[in-house]
Chains A and B, each alone.
Chain A
Amino acid sequence: MQKKRLAAIAAAAATASLLLAACGSTSPSSSSNSPILIGVPVPLSGPYASAGTDIVDGAKLAAAKVNSNGGVLGRKIQIVPVDDACDAQTAAQAAQKLISDNVTAVAGGYCSSASLPELQVFHQNGDIPFVLDASTNPQLTQYGYNDVFRTIGRDDEQGPFAANFIANYLHAKKVVVMDDASTYAAGLAQNTIDALNKYPGITVIHQTITPGQSDYTSELTHIASLHPDVLYYTGYFTEAGLLLKQAATLGLKFQIMGGDATNDPTVIKTAGAAANNFIITTAPLAQFLGTAKSYVTDYTAKYGQAPGPYSVYEYDAVSVLAQAIKSAGSTKASAINAALHKVKDYQGMTGTFSFNKVGDRTPAVYITLKIVNQQFTAFQELNSSGQWVSVP
């Protein structure tokens, strides 16, 4: 009496697998004059889709630049974007998609939680080079994989930078560090707290909010009751704008600061005049990098709007990959990885950098921005002797 059912199940699964088998059979050939494929896994759906689109645009700009200079090894570079939806399981599938597309290397990533399964897939499939452009979680370069690199600083470098600013420039005595429980923000918050605790005489309080709400007045009311000098919010720009606006409504006077994920015009659009005096610690936007003037011009000319916060790091990621492929003289993963490890004082749009043993960028660069008259303006940076100076 059970056989009939089993037969039905069999037929269902057969249909499904035939369907998939049919779809899976197309795979691109890789002849010598076909383009070199570079995968870009970023969120293209969901709340971070705009950041993902920006990164893909940066990658395409870099590819266009390389191709107009004759390409690499006589072949053109082609960008292959995939949607990782900022979700671990989708990310693993997106990475597999890139593998099946036979990409030579990968440059991208936005959410650290999605980059993690991705880099494991690339590692397991022949150490495909993966240059991260925006995933700043320190853990990502700590697995001992020799195919992971990044063109942006790590959270645990931004944390001490922010702590230094809060202690030595703002001279705060009581600090509230607040995150939104996301992987990224919690990591930055913890690193900042650890660094702040090394300064004598500073009281640090840790808070967490739930992202995606519209109303944070109760959280702010609670923070106000603690009488802090500074509130440092390590989460994303959406909530930052709301926090600023609602803090103004409540008549709160303490200094509010944000991490690099608050570096977005939405903050100003949301909060209006209430955004003034907001201070952001960030890896510099292309607009504030002396070295990236041409990038801003090119990007704006091509896409009709100013670049977002990370696309310039993606531009460098793709460019440095192209250079590594060139100097390796091969599209073999091991050769490219070796070439990437040898990169020294690369002149990128984001300044001069090298990759250290684990593939992290050195030196990392950070500055502070301040919103003045509803405009982002460069504020303070550390000079080579560790003093706070105005950004020229």
Chain B
Amino acid sequence: MQYLVNGLTIGSFYALVALGYTMIYGIIRLINFAHGDLFMAGAFIGWTVLGAFAGMHAPAALLLIVALLVAMAVIGLLAVGIDRIAYQPLLRASRLSILITALGVSLALENGAMMLFGAGFDTYPTNLLPTTGFLLGGAHVTWVQVGMFVLSILLMAALYLFVQFTPVGTAMRALSFDQDAARLMGVNVEGVIMITFLLGGSLAAASGVMMGLYYTQINFLMGFLMGLRAFTSAVLGGIGNIPGAMVGGLLIGLLQSFAAGYISSQWQDVIVFAVLILVLVFKPTGLLGERVVERM
């Protein structure tokens, strides 16, 4: 039972970051390797805002909301900027060259953050969130965990509804099917791509700030492992598919939690990747991925 709670908590973080991978992949077929580092940058922006207002005796809730919003705005814009500078010019070139720029952006963000914020670990204040909780079937659950989980689900649901039921969302879906056709039908392709990066970036930032608050420790390399796991989640669920990213993230979280508990922590990544490979071998497009029809 405790493993379930642990797994869902970490899984909801994976899912949030995985959404960004999935959205961007869905639209421009790019595995955005820099996405995990946007998450890291978001955590640092939130930390900076909290540090700047630390002296003022503002209510904790207000501080948190300001930090969250600032981080989402800044990182959303950063993501758009990265897209315009580093990705757009290469959209028509080979897919691998754009992948390499994504890796370059990732490296630049990591080392840029190291220069700005230092190589060590920075910590969020530990007193902003309550530590109380309750027992559920023998498992310790804190209110913060519940809050984080609910917030993640809400964000994901909002995104899902946005993509399904708004005009911009419809344009996004059209784009993911056929960019040229969408352009012919009058969709503002550049605009939609910008909105996608804006959304993906701010979601990553939101999860970065939440992660910082929950685990308190942040570091310029934290985006790497997160990115790796979130990417794995997105693929497991079926990349390009929003509910798939949610399912994938939660599953990876649970898988890790149970693997660490019942088998061994050091083998958990082996187990996660082995399951992923097995799933892909038997269901090549991920759990919820739709079949891609090959064109002749």
Interface residues of A (CB under 8 A from B): 45-50, 53, 181, 207-210, 212-219, 221-222, 237-238, 241-242, 245, 248-251, 266, 269-273
Chain B interface secondary structure, helix, strand, loop or mixed? helix
A214 / chain B contacts, CB cutoff of 8 Å: 10, 13, 211, 215, 217, 222, 226
* Cα–Cα, bound, A45→B111 (Å): 9
Asked whether B266 lies within 8 Å of A210 as measured between CB atoms, the reply is: yes
Q: Provided the pairs A209-B266, A210-B266 are in contact, do residues A249 and B133 lie with their beta carbons within 8 angstroms? A: yes
Those 3 A-B pairs whose CB atoms lie nearest each other, nearest first: A272-B126, A49-B119, A269-B123
Q: Which residue of A lies closest to B268 (CB)?
A: A210
* Cα–Cα, bound, A389→B120 (Å): 34
Closest Cβ–Cβ distance, residue B95 to chain A (whole Å): 25
B120 / chain A contacts, CB cutoff of 8 Å: 49-50, 266
A222 / chain B contacts, CB cutoff of 8 Å: 260-262, 265
| B216 at interface by CB-CB < 8 Å | yes
Q: Provided the pairs A50-B120, A245-B216, A272-B127 are in contact, do residues A213 and B225 lie with their beta carbons within 8 angstroms? A: yes
Asked whether A249 lies within 8 Å of B217 as measured between CB atoms, the reply is: no
Asked whether A181 lies within 8 Å of B266 as measured between CB atoms, the reply is: yes
Closest Cβ–Cβ distance, residue B128 to chain A (whole Å): 10
Segment 173-217 of B: residues with Cβ below 8 Å from A: 211, 215-217
| B276 at interface by CB-CB < 8 Å | no
A46 / chain B contacts, CB cutoff of 8 Å: 119, 221
Closest Cβ–Cβ distance, residue B124 to chain A (whole Å): 9
A47 / chain B contacts, CB cutoff of 8 Å: 119, 219, 221
Asked whether A219 lies within 8 Å of B217 as measured between CB atoms, the reply is: no
* Cα–Cα, bound, A45→B120 (Å): 10
B140 / chain A contacts, CB cutoff of 8 Å: 249-251
| B9 at interface by CB-CB < 8 Å | yes
Closest Cβ–Cβ distance, residue B109 to chain A (whole Å): 14
Q: Which residue of A lies closest to B266 (CB)?
A: A208
Interface residues of B (CB under 8 A from A): 2-3, 5-7, 9-10, 13, 111, 114, 118-121, 123, 126-127, 131, 133, 140, 142, 211, 215-217, 219, 221-222, 224-226, 256-258, 260-262, 264-266, 268-269
* Cα–Cα, bound, A276→B148 (Å): 26
Asked whether B216 lies within 8 Å of A272 as measured between CB atoms, the reply is: yes
Q: Contacts A49-B120, A238-B121 given; 20 further ones with Cβ under 8 A?
A: A45-B119, A46-B119, A46-B221, A47-B221, A53-B119, A210-B268, A215-B6, A216-B260, A217-B257, A218-B7, A218-B258, A221-B6, A241-B216, A250-B2, A251-B140, A266-B121, A266-B123, A270-B126, A270-B215, A273-B126
A49 / chain B contacts, CB cutoff of 8 Å: 114, 119-120
Asked whether B142 lies within 8 Å of A249 as measured between CB atoms, the reply is: yes
Q: Which residue of A lies closest to B212 (CB)?
A: A214
Asked whether A215 lies within 8 Å of B9 as measured between CB atoms, the reply is: yes
A250 / chain B contacts, CB cutoff of 8 Å: 2, 140
Q: Which residue of A lies closest to B121 (CB)?
A: A266
Asked whether B131 lies within 8 Å of A249 as measured between CB atoms, the reply is: yes
B131 / chain A contacts, CB cutoff of 8 Å: 248-249
A266 / chain B contacts, CB cutoff of 8 Å: 120-121, 123, 217
Asked whether A50 lies within 8 Å of B118 as measured between CB atoms, the reply is: yes
* Cα–Cα, bound, A47→B226 (Å): 15
Closest Cβ–Cβ distance, residue A187 to chain B (whole Å): 16
Closest Cβ–Cβ distance, residue A224 to chain B (whole Å): 8
* Cα–Cα, bound, A238→B216 (Å): 11
* Cα–Cα, bound, A218→B2 (Å): 8
* Cα–Cα, bound, A125→B226 (Å): 42
A210 / chain B contacts, CB cutoff of 8 Å: 265-266, 268-269
Q: Which residue of B lies closest to A239 (CB)?
A: B217
- List 25 contacting pairs A-B, 8 Å CB cutoff, sorted by A: A207-B264, A210-B265, A210-B269, A214-B10, A214-B215, A216-B265, A217-B6, A218-B256, A218-B257, A218-B260, A219-B260, A221-B6, A222-B261, A222-B262, A222-B265, A238-B217, A241-B216, A241-B217, A245-B216, A249-B131, A249-B142, A250-B2, A251-B140, A270-B215, A271-B216
Closest Cβ–Cβ distance, residue A213 to chain B (whole Å): 7
B224 / chain A contacts, CB cutoff of 8 Å: 212
Q: Provided the pairs A221-B2, A221-B3, A221-B261 are in contact, do residues A215 and B215 lie with their beta carbons within 8 angstroms? A: yes
A248 / chain B contacts, CB cutoff of 8 Å: 131
Closest Cβ–Cβ distance, residue B216 to chain A (whole Å): 5
Asked whether A218 lies within 8 Å of B6 as measured between CB atoms, the reply is: yes
B111 / chain A contacts, CB cutoff of 8 Å: 45
Closest Cβ–Cβ distance, residue B61 to chain A (whole Å): 19
Pick the residue among B10, B118, B219 that contacts A215 (CB under 8 A).
B10
B256 / chain A contacts, CB cutoff of 8 Å: 218
* Cα–Cα, bound, A269→B268 (Å): 28
* Cα–Cα, bound, A136→B191 (Å): 56
